[in-house]
Each structure stands twice: as structure tokens, then as C-alpha cells.
Amino acid sequence: MTNDQTNTQSANQNHAKKALGQHFLMDQQAIRRIAGAIDDGADIIEIGPGPGAITEVLLARASHLTVIEMDDRFAARWQQHARSHPTLSVVHGDVMKVLEATVADKQPQWIAGNLPYNLSGPLTATLAGIPLSGGMVLMYQREVAERICAGPGSKTYGGLSVLARHFYDVKRLLTLPPGAFSPPPKVHSAVVVLTPHHRTPPCDYSILQQTVRKGFAHRRKTIFNNFRGVLDADAFTAIDINPGLRPEQLDYTAWARLALRLQNN
């Protein structure tokens, strides 16, 4: 095989697949900051390692690292790598289908990942319901990160903002320009850190999900109108929620009280 053929094969093995929403982080300073946000010696799950810019740094720091990879090319590469690295495990599959079982099996302290752009919403809704002792370091499109970190009253405050606070405190770690990735996405990206707040949630996460989904279904309507036929105005008043408020005006604790009220119905 000629050098040109070898280079072409290597490029094909590493090129990002648009269908999988892949954009590979190349910025070394950002990689160090992401890895540095995770405790040394932790058990970690990484979502979507791809060619492994973050993975190699995590592997050097982790007690055990499990990677979840859907792309056949990279899954095979990490499976080969794991043969000589006993602290590395590989789960080959769709993260939306294998995440919960992998967490139950590996019992990680941390989850990290450059999340696929096309899955970031539903994947975050799943991740936010997983209580970890360490936390999560997750990369998003900047707009999604802003939604997750937004507070009540903000135009970007929504369901993910509420769900992320069920088990965690949320902060933005850094923002990255398109040029930090290969290929460059059309938008800026941001890294969000979820740190466990260790407060016992007042309601079940699944009920909170259902409540938030229904409550934010029509942002322009009042919270009373979004739950018309389910709760009357007196029921809202009884849980200290003004029925005339709009969904984005309710903080996490109000949403939790509402979810608990529905849970007890």
C-alpha cells in the first residue's frame, strides 16, 4: 500500500459522519479543562469517544473508563485498544438504548461526553435522571447549553433547565468556537458541568418529566391553562403556585411541588 493510500484510508477511518452528528474536539486546552473537571481515579463513562481526543486523557486519569460508541469504526478501534488496557471497557451501541443498562452495570461516578448534536435534548433528559456521586461534564451546542443553564424568567428557560436541577447544580465550564472542532460545526459549543447537590428530590424524576413536558407544551399559555382539566385554580393555590404564571416563571421547586401534587393524584 502506498503512502497516499494509507493516508486516504486513515482519513476515511477518522472522518466525521454527518448522520451521527459528529464533530470531533481538537482544542488541546479545552480537552485538558474537560478532563481536569473530573476527579482523578474515578470510574467514568464517556459517551461517543470517536477518535479519542478526550478519551486518551481520561484513560490516563480514570480508575476505570467505559466508552459507549455507536460508530462501527471507532468501536472496533477501542475494542482493540481495550485488549491491552484492562481499565478500559467498550459498549458498542446506540447510547439511547444502552446507557441505562451500562450505568447499572458499571456504576460510574462520572459521565463525560461530546454529545451528538442530533440527540442532545432527549439524551440530556435521560442523563439528568441518573444520580451520580461525582457528576457530569457534557458538551453541547451553545444554544442547548444555554437552555440547560438558564434560570426562571429567561426566554431560554425550559424543560431541560428544570430536569437538570433534579439531582444537580449546573454551571457552564467553557465556550468553544467552531474552529475548535473537526469538521467545524456551524455553531459555537459549550461545556456544562453538573455537580450533585445532594438534596433529596421531593418527587419522582419520571413524574417531573411528564409534568414538565405537559407544562411547557404551550409556553404562551398560563400554567393553569396547560393543566386545565387536570388541576383547578384552588389546587395550584394550595401548593403555592400562582395559576396565572407562565411555565418559564416557575423555578425548580415549584415544578417539583406541581409534580408531587400530580404524583399523589
Quick one: which of 178, 194, 74, 77 has its CA closest to 138?
194
Q: What is the mean pLDDT of residues 29-38?
A: 95
* DSSP assignment of 175-229: EE-GGGEESPPSS-EEEEEEEE--PPPSS-HHHHHHHHHHHTSSTTS-HHHHTTT
φ and ψ at residue 135, rounded to 5 degrees: 140, -160
178-230: pLDDT as tens digits: 999 988 888 999 999 999 999 999 999 999 999 999 999 999 999 999 999 99
Average of pLDDT values for 113-126?
91
- Closest by Cα among 104, 114, 202 to 162: 202
Full-prediction pTM beyond 0.85?
yes
pLDDT beyond 70 at 149: yes
Query: How would you label 81-103 residue by residue, b for 16+ Cβ within 10 Å and e otherwise?
Result: bbeeeeebbbbbeebeeebeebb
Contact between residue 252 and residue 157 where contact means Cβ atoms under 8 Å apart: no
- In this prediction, residue 22 has a pLDDT band, given cuts at 50, 70 and 90, of low
